[in-house]
Amino acid sequence: MQENKKKLDVEDLMDEVLTTEPGFSLPDNFAEMVAVKVSRKFAWEQYFIEFLIYLSVFIGMGIVSAAITLFLYDVNWKQWLVFIVSNIGLVAGVSIITIFILFADRVLLRYFLFRGETEII
């Protein structure tokens, strides 16, 4: 008997909830706005992951090139280390500029172009 009363109470509550108007209203283009925001977030993540892949490939190519040079040409690695340490400003500057250009090209430009194409009017 008590289960039937609980079911009736729940049914009455559900009827009341489903028949009353909510206290807010969504804009007409709500679904479009959500879709655009989700697509922008997905695009940003995709572009950033692609940047990390390119960066790791460039670093890997540099390491492989250095290893081949050290082993095949019998280069003294201590001389390389002295050269890099003595020109640390130049090496760091070139590295930072290269990473920034790669980031700007692979992530920022593509993202802002995508964002401009998906502007909500």
pLDDT in tens, 10-63: 888 888 888 888 888 888 889 999 999 999 999 999 999 999 999 999 999 999
CB 58 within 8 A of CB 102: yes
CA distance 92 to 112: 28
Number of domains into which the chain is organized: 1
CA distance 13 to 20: 11
CA distance 38 to 59: 32
Q: Range of 42's domain?
A: 31-117
Q: Where are the alpha helices (DSSP H) in the chain?
A: 2-19, 30-72, 77-86, 88-103, 109-117
58 in a structural domain? yes
pTM: 0.67
CB 40 within 8 A of CB 114: yes
36 in a structural domain? yes
17 in a structural domain? no
64 in a structural domain? yes
